[in-house]
Amino acid sequence: MIGKTLAHYEILEKLGSGGMGDVYKARDTKLGREVALKVLPEEFSKDDERRKRFMREAQAIAALKHPNIVTIHSVEEADGVSFITMEYVEGGTLTARIPGGGVTLDEFFAYAIPLADAISSAHDQGISHRDLKPANVMFDRDGRLKVLDFGLAKLIAQSVNLDTAPTIVQGSDTAVGQIMGTAAYMSPEQAEGKEIDGRSDIFSLGIVLYEMATGERPFKGDTQISTISSILKDTPKHISEIKREIPRHVGRIVNRCLEKNPDKRFQSAKDVRNDLEGLKKEIDSGELSVEMESGPSIIGAPPSGAAAASETSTPGLRVVRRSCIRSRSMRLPQLKQITYSREPWSSIILPLPAAR
């Protein structure tokens, strides 16, 4: 395909390949712009009714307009090939931005909130993603998060002949047919081939958030079957057990996304976004105070402008609501002082009351 022309698109290079087709970087010779061109599986050209249905429903997906969703420009056919042209995003994927120990708290909110907002916007228009994973989240030149492939999993599943389609595409971790998606990021109901709705995306979002926070996937297995078994049966470790500096309230939000019963999850991605925004606001405003990992609270929050806190004798700080310190039965740790510092300031020493 490279070097060839499909309609008025000059194929420049191959960007990737998966169960939903091959993706190429191409140049639109009419408009003089670069686009991403997804060549769809050949099954689309074999059945006229399926092809028409795909084209019709793909137009609805192309109508999605959100700053964090990759724009679909057109759905076309040329030389017996069905393909989709979409916005070309030059930056890397979310996968590449997640280090071994997970992202920082600031990065977590910077990625999680627009991701949840994008999913919410699509759900409001009746479109689920069905294959949400870090590899389907990219960043443009300006660092703006962009979600790819909304709704394509469902359209391709409907358009492929399920009697002849393989359950798993060789060389890919994307399933095609009655189970459509990527094994490590499937919801339980999706893995079982049940009818799904937007709450399945919320479970997948929870997996992505967990991985961003910790650098680990919550459900693991040596094979796709064992990974799916883990999704169906296992309860993952709480995020704060893996990474102490992540507030327990982040884990609370992620855990609710990962409820195996859809009725117990967040019922909308908008609720996930609102909870994440609310938690970030509480942390930024100082409404949340600092607690020792062992449980007791430290009175007070950093002074205005303070960027870092270090305690003098006990490691392992975590964030809790300021209201927690009002309990008379709570014991304070054996600390002499907490030091807040930020250049060009000198250290500010806050004495702590003696433990009772």
Q: Distance (Å, rounded) from C-alpha 185 to C-alpha 173?
A: 10
Inter-residue contact 75 to 159 (CB < 8 Å)? no
Q: How far apart (Å, rounded) are the C-alpha atoms in residues 159 and 142?
A: 36
Q: Are strands 9-18 and 5-6 parallel, antiparallel or unpaired?
A: antiparallel
Place of tokens 């590449």: 96
Residues paired with residue 21 on neighbouring β-strands, in sequence order? 18
| Cβ(151)–Cβ(127) below 8 Å | yes
Contact 7, 13 (CB under 8 A): no
In contact, 6 and 36? CB cutoff 8 Å: no
131 catalytic residue (yes or no)? yes
Beta-carbon-side half-sphere exposure of residue 174 (alpha carbons within 13 Å): 21
Q: Give the active site residue among 131, 149, 201, 275.
A: 131
Q: How far is CA 4 from CA 10, 11, 30, 38, 353, in A?
A: 6, 6, 16, 15, 75
For the annotated catalytic residues, the residue numbers are: 131
